[in-house]
């Protein structure tokens, strides 16, 4: 598989994952208590944690340039 095809597939997978991740994060945030500190911590963690599950996909996309 060429690098161009891997990047195309990976880019589409990235968009699908992020759409689901955003949907799930907002669905969970609706169930949080109405406390600003709790929501601040939640969104700080969720806002930075999205990259962790994408590491294998990004590594696969950039393999064998």
Long-range contacts, 45-53 (Cβ 8 Å, 24+): 50/18, 50/21, 53/17
Question: Tens place of pLDDT for every residue, the chain, 65 residues?
Answer: 888 899 999 999 999 999 999 999 999 999 999 999 999 999 999 999 999 999 999 999 988 66
Whole-number pLDDT of residue 63: 84
Whole-number pLDDT of residue 32: 95
Whole-number pLDDT of residue 3: 87
Residue 59 φ then ψ, to 5°: -65, -40
Tell me, yes or no, if the pTM score tops 0.85.
no
Whole-number pLDDT of residue 38: 96
């Amino acid at each position: 598989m060429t690098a161009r095809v891997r990047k195309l597939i990976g880019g589409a997978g990235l968009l699908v994952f992020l759409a689901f991740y955003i949907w799930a994060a907002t669905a969970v945030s609706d169930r949080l208590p109405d406390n600003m500190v709790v929501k601040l911590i939640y969104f700080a963690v969720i806002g930075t944690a999205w990259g962790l599950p994408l590491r294998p996909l990004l590594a696969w996309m950039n393999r064998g340039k």
